[in-house]
């Protein structure tokens, strides 16, 4: 019998692409940052936005903060993997770092809202999409108000968007209920999802057939 290296044969060569969405204040950023700390090979994509930085944000860390003119130029140049307008601002994911990392076998996380997630699903049907929710709306309101980074008007805008976002859950693969104060639990769930996706026969065979886009 010919020698076969099963490990080589049945291991994903490309990285996994994750989309993480959820209402503002659900704690998804913290969860993703904590995940990256534990899994430093994974790339957490840094989006570009026309939103003004909050007082604790640094250009190049949370976002690249750019103006509307540059944003439109980038849209026309097909620079973004996806982009969306949200809360009177624009947000976009630069395409190159993502495709490069996936090719190198690194996993990638995009923390983006549902309109963007839908565009990514079209471009990469193999994307794994995760919706993060807090335990309750009361918890969510407490979190948004507690972080004191938005005006009352901005808070109301974010809360009024909640119902619309929740209606999008059916398009996602997984839900993580993020219990505040139990960050480790949520990160562990994300790790478990990643592990099981790496063992998915469907996924492995699709990639072998070159259908992983």
* Contact positions vs ligand 5GP (CB under 6 A): 24, 47, 51, 82, 84, 86, 91-93, 111-113, 115-116
Cβ-Cβ contacts under 8 Å for 20 (sequence gap 6 or more): 28, 31, 32, 109, 110, 111, 112, 129, 130, 132
Instruction: Compute the least distance from the CB of residue 144 to ligand 5GP, in Å.
Output: 10
Question: Are 18 and 198 in contact, with CB atoms under 8 Å apart?
Answer: no
Closer to ligand 5GP at the Cβ: 168 or 207?
A: 168
Rounded least distance, CB 113 to ligand 5GP, Å? 4
Cβ closer to ligand 5GP: 51 or 198?
51
What's the min distance (Å) between Cβ of 91 and ligand 5GP? 3
DSSP string, the chain: -----HHHHTS-SSPPEEEEE--TTSSHHHHHHHHHHH-TTSEE--EEESSPPPTT--BTTTEEE--HHHHHHHHHTT-EEEEEEETTEEEEEEHHHHHHHHHTT--EEEE--HHHHHHHHHH-TT-EEEEEE-S-HHHHHHHHHHT--S-HHHHHHHHHTHHHHHTTGGG-SEEEE--TT-HHHHHHHHHHHHHHHHT-HHHHHHHHTT---
**Would you say 42 or 93 has its CB closer to ligand 5GP?**
93
Q: Minimum Å distance from CB 1 to ligand 5GP? A: 50
Q: Which is nearer to ligand 5GP, 99 or 207 (CB)?
A: 99
Which token pair is 205?
């065979």
Q: How far is the CB of 146 from ligand 5GP (least distance, A)?
A: 14
Q: Return the number of the residue (149 or 196) whose C-beta is nearest ligand 5GP.
A: 149
Residue 82 vs 107, nearer CB to ligand 5GP: 82
Smallest distance, ligand 5GP to C-beta of residue 195, A = 24
Residue 61's nearest CA partner among 79, 80, 44 is 44
């Amino acid at each position: 019998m010919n020698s076969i290296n099963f490990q080589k044969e049945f291991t994903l060569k490309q990285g996994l692409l994750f989309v993480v969405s959820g209402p503002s204040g659900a704690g998804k950023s913290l969860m993703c940052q904590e995940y990256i700390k534990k899994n430093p090979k994974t790339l957490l994509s840094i989006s570009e936005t026309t939103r003004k930085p909050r007082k604790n944000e640094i250009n190049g860390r949370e976002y690249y903060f750019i103006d509307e003119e540059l944003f439109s130029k980038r849209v026309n140049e097909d620079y973004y993997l996806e982009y969306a307008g949200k809360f009177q601002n624009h947000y976009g994911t630069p395409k190159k770092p993502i495709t490069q990392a996936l090719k190198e076998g690194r996993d990638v996380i995009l923390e983006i809202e549902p309109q963007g997630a839908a565009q990514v699903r079209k471009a990469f049907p193999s994307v794994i999409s995760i919706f993060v929710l807090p335990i309750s709306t009361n918890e969510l309101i407490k979190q948004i108000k507690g972080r004191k980074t938005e005006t009352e008007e901005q808070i109301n805008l974010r809360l009024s968007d909640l119902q619309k976002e929740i209606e999008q859950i059916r398009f996602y693969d997984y839900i993580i209920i993020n219990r505040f104060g139990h960050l480790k639990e949520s990160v562990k769930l994300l790790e478990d999802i990643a592990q099981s996706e790496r063992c998915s026969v469907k996924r492995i065979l699709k990639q072998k057939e070159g259908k992983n886009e």
